[in-house]
A and B are shown apart, each in its own frame.
Chain A
Amino acid sequence: MSSPNLAPPIDELRAQFGEDVVAPISSREGLPTCEVPADRAPAILNWLRQGIGRPYEMLFDLTAIDERPRSERDGGPDFRVVYHLTSFSRNADVRIIVPLLGPWPSLQTACPLWQNANWYEREVWDMFGIRFDGHPGLRRILMPPTWPGHPLRKDHPARATELGPDELTEEDAQAELEAMQFIPEDWGLERSANGVDYLFLNVGPQHPGTHGVLRVVLQLDGEEIVDAVPDIGFHHRGAEKMGERQSWHTYIPYTDRVDYLGGVLNNLPYVMAVEALGGIPVTDRAKMIRILLCELFRISSHLVWYGTFAQDVGALSPVFYMFRDREQVLEIVEEICGDRMHPNWFRIGGVAQDLPRGWENKVQTLLAELPRRLREYDKLVMKNKLFRARTRGIGAYTRNEAISWGVTGPGLRACGMAWDWRRQRPYGGYEQLDFEIPTASAGDAYARAEVRIEEMRQSLRIIRQCVDHMPPGPYKSSHPLTTPPRKERTMHDIETLIHHFLAVSWGPVIPEGQAAVTVEGSKGANAYYLVSDGGTHPYRLRIRSPSFPHMQMLPAMSRGLMIPDLLTILGSMDYVLADVDR
């Protein structure tokens, strides 16, 4: 293992709190990481948020690891809670790990420091059974309230076959029905105030305007929204739990389905995190192929958003034009990958296959046609007076609010912050490309739309550079841990054949360690945090999806507006329920 990183802020933390309190830990991707005791954690987090010069403004991610199988084996804590903080002023991150002892541990809440800690802590409680003292409403968030156990604990079954036959008795059915009864007080909503009796409107989980199985409970005074409470988890499939059973290689198709509009944009952070763990280099050509496909999917995802957003505001036609254009993009994807929405195309150490002959023809057509169409859509949608009246000033937030709620991607850039992971932390070859970071200043629904539309133009620019400068060479690394391993040299002697056989059937053995990689997804920062115990599958796999914190901001964005504005806000947020619930 590489030596622990003593870069800032670890050295600052050690100077402030003592070297015996802050224990640096090595990480494979080089992110400064340290372990701090639970009783000092609140003070340390508080100092990082408020005390330190150039503070860590954003709680990027908060999750936990069930360490009990490992502690029984090697000693050590029973659980670890992991805070991933981002500082925009430093352009640096830090990972704070808090070890916890005992089967039902608890920890001080971080809600007063970061707004978005609320849902993350609820998720950790739901998944691990770790309590957060002082949390304003610690209840389950992804699982139903009647669920027994905490799924991401290692002793919780991962498959239905581990459970025995499924039975629903009369009493159980009754209990489930009773748990579904709507009691406003349970949701932190008052039935009446100031002589007004509120109307509670249940939007979803089956509703044409919510783009999937999202439920929002609205507290209404007439058509005015007094409060809105999102209820998520209907799309939860346990993607993180599945990761613990899949080999490093066979998990790749699951990533496609997290943000199902983003396709390979989900593959990328996962394979890059595995590559960081294994120290696997990637060839130039593979990098460029990845960028090409990522940008195609960014355009495809934004086109879906564009059309459905217009439809949410009541315009029926644009969605058909944008889906036609998306078809053009998906045809290119199909030609290269053989699949459209979930191409499962990236591999550890490269991509699945080389580009087919003549791949650039359809790309050239797209590059020639799409800009003209985008100008047409500007006239049709963005310059439409009714559309402007419906979106301007709706769902507006400031830059500081966005950061405190963990907003990333176009939602952050729409409040004047030119922050794009491709530019601020160049990864996978983006440092060689020439493109701009579009921003807008108003921070409202219209500004978010402006940013996304300009992003499509920038993506086209990147694709043009990929076409013009596609480097020659192998599409996959020759490193022994690439998957599936390259076959050229396997048929020569028995040793290479055995290695190949094992690498294909078991999958690669990735060295022990941890790594998190963030990429700029179509909806915001998409990150995978992987922990390996030196096995053939992840010990813990954490997906930090952008839609989860965005959805958490919904109440703050919609209070005081009207029901139609809720749909405008949801549309402008550009979420995918599978990305919220994972």
Chain B
Amino acid sequence: MTTGGQIVVIIMIMGGALSLAAGLIWVERRLLGLWQDRYGPNRVGPFGILQPLADAIKLLFKEDWSPPFADRSVFLIAPAVIFATALLSLAVVPVAPGIGVVAEWNVGLLFFLAMASLGAYSVILGGWASNSKYSLLGGLRAAAQMLSYEVFMGLSLAGVVVLAGSFSLAEIVRAQADLWYVVPQFLGFVVFLIAGLAETRRLPFDLPESETELIAGFHTEYSGMSFGLFFVGEYIGIITISALITTFFLGGWHGPLLPPLVWFLLKTLVLIAVFVLFRAAMPRPRFDQLMAWGWKILLPITLINLLVTGAVVALP
């Protein structure tokens, strides 16, 4: 591909992700409304579809107030970090054969894991720099939660890497031409889905912000567009995780009849709806229960999964 073509692809994917994130705000609120017996936003534009735009205008015009007791520079950088890392993770995702920012990169999977780890800093630093007790508690929860769940996230992907024999995401998708990895790697799929929920801090893993306990957790003190960045960052995170689940376990662009790109988008959107459904359906566990569950149940499952996968692949 030419450099010019490559730039067009980059703009399409990143721009697409951003507008999808904005649309997602509307989709989530409408879906929650549907499942919760109410309307959701339906006033701005047809079916309320312009609601995210109105929200963005509101956030832009709001005073971007940083509290006088905050560590100002870190306070401002923190929301940008999560936004950037979530968006950069998308770079390694192949949306269709040959289309992707760096889909063929031979360390793509490691790059995603590195970005996920960096994203945790955003939440921790945001909570720390706010210099408020609620933010601090939220930041501490985020640190423990994201650190632990990254372990399972990485390990759950190890099975996929063993089967595909590559860290390149495009390679992994090509390896699923006959059989999606959700079948041989079902345990890995479940663990990655759960770890992905934890990584994006969505219910039932929204402990870092859990509004009934910590008001808004790590972003209690944020307002205006810096809050907006956390907000959009969360939605880009959902898109990224959904796209990655599609790539790793659901055969990426593979599918009959429809063009590859449509299959990829379809799978990703269904997963996004599942994320929203989780939010509508689940209560929130307590912090110690979440930790115990991760280390006592998820970790053994992933290790067994990896062991069995390795044994099956190694045996002739």
Q: Is the CB of A223 within 8 A of B212?
A: no
Q: Is the CB of B215 within 8 A of A314?
A: no
Task: Give chain A nearest CB distance to B128 CB in angstroms.
Answer: 14
B110 within 8 A of A: no
Chain A residue numbers with a CB within 8 Å of B215 are 207-208
A556 within 8 A of B: no
Task: Give chain B nearest CB distance to A555 CB in angstroms.
Answer: 18
A321-B37, A389-B289, A564-B210 known; A223+B137 contact, CB < 8 A: yes
B27 within 8 A of A: no
Residue with the highest number of chain A CB atoms closer than 10 Å, among B206, B215, B284: B284
Q: Is the CB of A386 within 8 A of B280?
A: no
B211 within 8 A of A: yes
Residues from 270 to 316 in B contacting A, C-beta threshold 8 Å:
279-289
Q: Is the CB of B212 within 8 A of A565?
A: no
Task: Give chain B nearest CB distance to A7 CB in angstroms.
Answer: 49
B133 within 8 A of A: yes
Residue with the highest number of chain B CB atoms closer than 10 Å, among A199, A314, A324: A314
B43 within 8 A of A: no
Chain B residue numbers with a CB within 8 Å of A310 are 283
Q: Is the CB of B283 within 8 A of A313?
A: yes
B204 within 8 A of A: yes
Chain A residue numbers with a CB within 8 Å of B91 are none
Q: Give the distance in Å from the alpha carbon of A563 to the alpha carbon of B212 in the complex.
A: 10
Task: Give chain A nearest CB distance to B161 CB in angstroms.
Answer: 32
Chain B residue numbers with a CB within 8 Å of A313 are 283-284
A311 within 8 A of B: yes
Q: Is the CB of B283 within 8 A of A563?
A: no
Q: Give the distance in Å from the alpha carbon of A314 to the alpha carbon of B281 in the complex.
A: 10
Among A201, A312, A315, A565, contact of B133 (Cβ-Cβ < 8 Å): A201
User: Interface size for chain A: under 10, 10 to 19, 20 to 34, or 35 or more residues?
Assistant: 20 to 34
| Chain B 197-241 per-residue mask, 1 if CB under 8 angstroms from chain A, else 0 | 000000110100011111100000000000000000000000000
Among B36, B282, B283, B287, contact of A562 (Cβ-Cβ < 8 Å): B287
A324-B37, A386-B204, A564-B287 known; A314+B280 contact, CB < 8 A: no
Query: Which A-chain residue is minimally distant from B35 (CB atoms)?
Result: A317
Q: Give the distance in Å from the alpha carbon of A310 to the alpha carbon of B215 in the complex.
A: 17
Task: Give chain A nearest CB distance to B212 CB in angstroms.
Answer: 4
Query: Which A-chain residue is minimally distant from B293 (CB atoms)?
Result: A389
Among B133, B211, B288, contact of A208 (Cβ-Cβ < 8 Å): B211
How many residues of B are in contact with the other chain, CB < 8 A?
28
Task: Give chain A nearest CB distance to B133 CB in angstroms.
Answer: 5
Task: Give chain B nearest CB distance to A392 CB in angstroms.
Answer: 12
Chain A residue numbers with a CB within 8 Å of B37 are 320-321, 324
Query: Which A-chain residue is minimally distant from B38 (CB atoms)?
Result: A320
Chain B residue numbers with a CB within 8 Å of A386 are 204, 282-285
Q: Is the CB of B288 within 8 A of A315?
A: no
How many pairs of A and B residues are in contact by the CB < 8 Å rule?
A: 79
| Chain B 20-54 per-residue mask, 1 if CB under 8 angstroms from chain A, else 0 | 00000000000010011110000000000000000
Residues from 187 to 216 in A contacting B, C-beta threshold 8 Å:
199, 201-202, 207-209
Task: Give chain B nearest CB distance to A513 CB in angstroms.
Answer: 47
Query: Which B-chain residue is minimally distant from A222 (CB atoms)?
Result: B140
Chain A residue numbers with a CB within 8 Å of B279 are 316
Q: Is the CB of A389 within 8 A of B285?
A: yes
Chain B residue numbers with a CB within 8 Å of A390 are 283-286, 289
Q: Is the CB of B286 within 8 A of A562?
A: yes
Q: Give the distance in Å from the alpha carbon of A387 to the alpha carbon of B289 in the complex.
A: 12
A223-B137, A321-B37 known; A316+B203 contact, CB < 8 A: yes
A386-B204, A386-B282, A563-B137 known; A317+B36 contact, CB < 8 A: yes
Task: Give chain B nearest CB distance to A328 CB in angstroms.
Answer: 12
Chain A residue numbers with a CB within 8 Å of B210 are 314, 564
| Chain A 555-581 per-residue mask, 1 if CB under 8 angstroms from chain B, else 0 | 000000011111100000000000000
Q: Give the distance in Å from the alpha carbon of A208 to the alpha carbon of B212 in the complex.
A: 5
Q: Is the CB of A317 within 8 A of B213?
A: no
Q: Is the CB of A316 within 8 A of B288?
A: no
Among A207, A209, A321, A564, contact of B286 (Cβ-Cβ < 8 Å): A564
Q: Give the distance in Å from the alpha carbon of A320 to the alpha carbon of B38 in the complex.
A: 8
Chain A residue numbers with a CB within 8 Å of B134 are 201
Q: Is the CB of A320 within 8 A of B286?
A: no
Q: Give the distance in Å from the alpha carbon of A319 to the alpha carbon of B279 in the complex.
A: 14
A201-B133, A320-B37, A386-B204 known; A314+B212 contact, CB < 8 A: yes
Among B133, B203, B213, B281, contact of A567 (Cβ-Cβ < 8 Å): B213
A50 within 8 A of B: no
A16 within 8 A of B: no
Q: Is the CB of A562 within 8 A of B203?
A: no
A384 within 8 A of B: yes
Among A201, A314, A565, contact of B282 (Cβ-Cβ < 8 Å): A314
Chain B residue numbers with a CB within 8 Å of A321 are 36-37
A317-B35, A317-B36 known; A567+B285 contact, CB < 8 A: no
Task: Give chain A nearest CB distance to B287 CB in angstroms.
Answer: 6
Q: Give the distance in Å from the alpha carbon of A324 to the alpha carbon of B37 in the complex.
A: 8
Task: Give chain B nearest CB distance to A139 CB in angstroms.
Answer: 25
Chain A residue numbers with a CB within 8 Å of B211 are 208-209
Q: Is the CB of B280 within 8 A of A311?
A: no
Task: Give chain A nearest CB distance to B304 CB in angstroms.
Answer: 22
A389-B289, A562-B288 known; A199+B133 contact, CB < 8 A: yes
Q: Is the CB of B36 within 8 A of A320?
A: yes
Q: Is the CB of A564 within 8 A of B213?
A: yes
Residues from 235 to 268 in A contacting B, C-beta threshold 8 Å:
none
A223-B137, A314-B283 known; A209+B213 contact, CB < 8 A: yes
Chain B residue numbers with a CB within 8 Å of A207 are 215
Chain B residue numbers with a CB within 8 Å of A564 are 210, 213, 284, 286-287
Q: Is the CB of B213 within 8 A of A315?
A: no
Q: Is the CB of A314 within 8 A of B203?
A: yes
Task: Give chain A nearest CB distance to B124 CB in angstroms.
Answer: 16
Chain B residue numbers with a CB within 8 Å of A202 are 133
Task: Give chain A nearest CB distance to B298 CB in angstroms.
Answer: 15
Task: Give chain A nearest CB distance to B202 CB in angstroms.
Answer: 11
A223-B137, A314-B203, A386-B204 known; A567+B283 contact, CB < 8 A: no
Query: Which B-chain residue is minimally distant from A384 (CB atoms)?
Result: B283
Chain B residue numbers with a CB within 8 Å of A563 are 137, 213-214
Q: Is the CB of A223 within 8 A of B36?
A: no
Q: Give the distance in Å from the alpha carbon of A394 to the alpha carbon of B108 in the complex.
A: 46
A564-B213, A567-B212 known; A223+B287 contact, CB < 8 A: yes
Query: Which B-chain residue is minimally distant from A394 (CB atoms)?
Result: B286
Task: Give chain B nearest CB distance to A548 CB in angstroms.
Answer: 23
Residue with the highest number of chain B CB atoms closer than 10 Å, among A311, A312, A320: A320
Task: Give chain B nearest CB distance to A382 CB in angstroms.
Answer: 11
Chain A residue numbers with a CB within 8 Å of B287 are 223, 562, 564
Q: Give the distance in Å from the alpha carbon of A321 to the alpha carbon of B283 in the complex.
A: 15
Residue with the highest number of chain A CB atoms closer than 10 Å, among B36, B280, B283: B283
Residues from 117 to 155 in A contacting B, C-beta threshold 8 Å:
none
Complex A-B: 16 CB contacts under 8 Å: A223-B137, A223-B287, A312-B212, A314-B283, A315-B281, A315-B282, A316-B203, A320-B36, A320-B38, A386-B283, A389-B289, A390-B286, A564-B210, A564-B213, A564-B284, A566-B213
Point out residues on B near A: beta carbons under 8 Å.
32, 35-38, 133-134, 137, 203-204, 206, 210-215, 279-289
Starting from the known contacts A316-B280, A562-B288, 5 additional A-B residue pairs (CB-CB under 8 Å) come to A207-B215, A209-B212, A313-B283, A315-B282, A390-B289
Point out residues on A near B: beta carbons under 8 Å.
199, 201-202, 207-209, 223, 310-317, 320-321, 324, 384, 386-387, 389-390, 562-567
